[in-house]
């Protein structure tokens, strides 16, 4: 193991990849991704049901327009399938109100969980994270960004329709415009979800990567659904739709958090990391100091966090 450790430290690319993987585990980012997926599901599923129900009432005499609008809203989630495309809620007005309230609660949970996740991965101390008024404003800003993303992407999906060579050109143009727009949305979202002390230029690469991955998964999502999810829907019915949507959201969340970890490791030079310790590398010590410092809940002049390692000189504290 020590020979393997020495070899990976000498290889820059392997050392960087292992450092990202190790930090993802140290931060328990898998749990953070699961939390993001849960709140996203709680927000999206009732909202889509309420949306299709409202359209059913308002566009009862125009089923074609109703299906086009539903398709535009669902373009971000290709795993949902025909059950939600054609069916909505049945019941009184308070069923719709309850669904909307649950959706707003879930969406606010997504925004809050995103802030906690991003600031945690960047090891921002609790004392330096935005307080209640600022964090709430950032949460509503993230809600607006997510809503704008779904709306514009849906409209671009509608523009990309048509047949023949003109239709193909329109689809290519709509895809390109959607990709550029998503990059801007992810840049804004990453900025809102991360404390101001993290520089915007350190967030940019991860935001661009996340937007590209999101766009790529949307492009291949229909193929994946046709090959995998459709069989689950036939076998499990609506339960298969739930499993598919949760899996889709969890995959997106994990890839996004990996992109953030790449930014953190790159910006703070947190590689190479040790596979077998001791000895600890410089990056190991910097990472462990940051983990401890991130737990500080009072300003630095009120609470001091010191980290010592075996073999440190008495003055080697952080």
Q: Report the mean per-residue pLDDT for the chain.
A: 80
Whole-angstrom Cα distance, residue 310 to residue 295? 21
* Residue 231 falls inside a structural domain: yes
Question: 290 in a domain, yes or no?
Answer: no
pLDDT confidence of residue 316: 41
Residue 200 has pLDDT above 90, yes or no: yes
Report residue 143 as tokens. Answer: 């809600």
Residue 76 pLDDT class (50, 70, 90 cuts): low
Per-residue confidence (pLDDT) for residue 51, from 0 to 100: 66
DSSP conformational letter for 306: -
Query: 59-82 b/e with 16+ CB inside 10 Å = b?
Result: beeeeeebeebbebbbbbbbbbbe
pLDDT at residue number 256: 94
The reply to whether 104 falls in a domain is yes
Q: Is 288 part of a structural domain of the chain?
A: no
User: Which has more confidence, 244 or 280?
Assistant: 280
What is the pTM for the complete model shown? 0.82
Q: Which residues span the domain enclosing 130?
A: 2-277
More confident residue, 192 or 160: 192
More confident residue, 258 or 81: 258
Confidence at residue 179, expressed as pLDDT on a 0 to 100 scale: 81
Structural domain contains residue 86:
yes
Structural domain count, the chain: 1
Whether 45 is in a domain gets the answer yes
**Residue percentage of the chain with pLDDT more than 70:** 72
Nearest-10 crossing angle of helices 93-121, 29-58: 150
Q: Are 73 and 152 in contact (CB under 8 A)?
A: no
How confident is the model over 44-62, as pLDDT tens digits? 766 666 666 676 677 677 7
| Long-range CB pairs of 84-88, under 8 A, 24+ apart, other chains included | 84/48, 84/49, 84/52, 84/241, 85/52, 87/52, 88/49, 88/50, 88/51, 88/52, 88/53, 88/54, 88/55, 88/56
Residue 11 within a domain: yes
* Burial annotation 239-254 (CB, 10 A radius, 16+ → b, else e): ebbbebbbebbbebbb
Q: Which of 262-276, 284-298, 304-318 has the lowest mean pLDDT?
A: 304-318
Q: Are 309 and 280 in contact (CB under 8 A)?
A: yes
Structure tokens given for 127: 């004392």
Q: Sorting pLDDT into bands at 50, 70 and 90, what band is 177?
A: confident
Q: Mean of the pLDDT values across residues 8-12?
A: 89
d(CA 299, CA 305): 11
% the chain with pLDDT above 90: 39
Query: CA angle, corner 238, sides to 113 and 47, nearest 5?
Result: 45
Is 305 a domain residue?
Answer: no
Chain centre distance of CA 129:
19
pLDDT at 79: 57
Cα–Cα distances (Å) from 202 to 51, 190, 199, 314, in that order, read 37, 10, 5, 33
Helix (H) or strand (E) run with residue 66 in it = helix 63-74
Give me the pLDDT at residue 318, please. 38
Those residues with Cβ within 8 angstroms of residue 181's Cβ, 6 or more apart along the chain or in another chain: 149, 152, 153, 156
CA separation for the pair 270, 257 (Å, rounded) = 16
Residue 167: pLDDT band (50, 70, 90) is low
pLDDT band at 151 (very low <50, low <70, confident <90, very high): low
For the cut 50, the answer to whether the pLDDT of residue 64 exceeds it is yes
pLDDT recorded at residue 236: 56
pLDDT at 210 over 60: yes
Lowest mean pLDDT among 28-42, 48-62, 120-134, 196-210: 48-62
Which residues are CB-neighbours of 210 under 8 A, at least 6 positions away? 186, 190, 255, 256, 259
Q: What is the mean pLDDT of residues 14-21?
A: 96
């Amino acid at each position: 193991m020590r020979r393997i450790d020495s070899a990976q430290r000498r290889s820059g690319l392997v050392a960087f990849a292992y450092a990202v993987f190790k930090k993802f585990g140290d931060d328990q980012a898998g749990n953070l991704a699961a939390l993001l997926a849960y709140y996203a599901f709680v927000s999206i599923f009732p909202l889509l049901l309420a949306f299709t129900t409202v359209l059913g009432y308002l566009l009862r005499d125009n089923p074609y327009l109703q299906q086009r609008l539903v398709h535009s809203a669902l373009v971000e989630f290709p795993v949902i399938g025909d059950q939600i495309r054609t069916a909505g809620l049945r019941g009184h007005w308070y069923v719709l109100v309850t669904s909307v309230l649950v959706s707003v609660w879930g969406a606010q949970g997504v925004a809050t969980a995103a802030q906690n996740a991003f600031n945690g991965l960047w090891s921002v101390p609790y004392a330096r994270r935005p307080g209640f008024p600022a964090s709430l404003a950032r949460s509503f800003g993230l809600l607006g960004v997510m809503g704008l993303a779904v709306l514009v992407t849906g409209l671009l999906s509608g523009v990309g329709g048509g047949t023949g060579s003109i239709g193909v050109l329109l689809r290519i143009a709509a895809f390109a415009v959607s990709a550029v727009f998503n990059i801007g949305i992810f840049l804004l979202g990453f900025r809102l979800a991360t404390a101001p002390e993290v520089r915007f230029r350190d967030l940019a690469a991860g935001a661009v990567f996340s937007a590209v991955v999101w766009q790529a998964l949307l492009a291949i999502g229909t193929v994946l659904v046709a090959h995998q999810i459709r069989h689950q829907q036939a076998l499990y019915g609506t339960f298969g739709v739930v499993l598919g949507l949760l899996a889709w959201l969890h995959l997106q969340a994990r890839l996004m958090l990996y992109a953030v970890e790449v930014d953190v490791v790159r910006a703070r030079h947190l590689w190479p990391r040790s596979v077998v310790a001791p000895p600890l590398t410089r990056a190991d010590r910097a990472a462990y100091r940051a983990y401890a410092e991130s737990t500080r809940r009072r300003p630095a002049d009120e609470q001091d966090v010191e980290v010592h390692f075996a073999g440190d000189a008495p003055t080697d504290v952080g």
